[in-house]
Structure 1
Amino acid sequence: MSLHLKKPTLEHDDLSFFKTLYHTSVKDIMEMDALKIQSLMTRTEALSRWLEGIHKLAHTLNMKGH
């Protein structure tokens, strides 16, 4: 299964990236070279921070009654 490891862009579907990552076997990931794995980790961490920010914003708006 091919993982798209390009930097996220406005046009790129990040949820599709997570779906692809979820369905990628451990064996396939272990066969990647170190640079590709590092890129994968960096992108996953960035997307995780982005989702955390959205979650915090939603929580804040909910607390304010919006």
Structure 2
Amino acid sequence: MRIGIDHDLCIGAGQCALAAPTVFTQDDDGFSALLPGREDGGGDPMVREAARACPVSAITVSEPGS
């Protein structure tokens, strides 16, 4: 899967890091970031829930080729 974070939309609510802490973190400014090596989600089933939990829809999840 591919994970995208629109940093222009992100408000730093942290819901992604709460929903999928093995994939998402917050950077030094408090905005969403992917943990190193987790750009593909690492098979974590909570990635899609993290995207749904984002209050401003800053996270997108797609399958390669779609």
TM over 0.5: no
With a CA cutoff of 8 Å and minimum separation of 6, indicate the structure with the bigger relative contact order. Answer: 2
TM-score calculated relative to the size of structure 2: 0.31
Which structure is higher in helix share? Answer: 1
Q: Which has the larger radius of gyration?
A: 1
TM-score of the aligned structures, taking structure 1 as reference length: 0.31
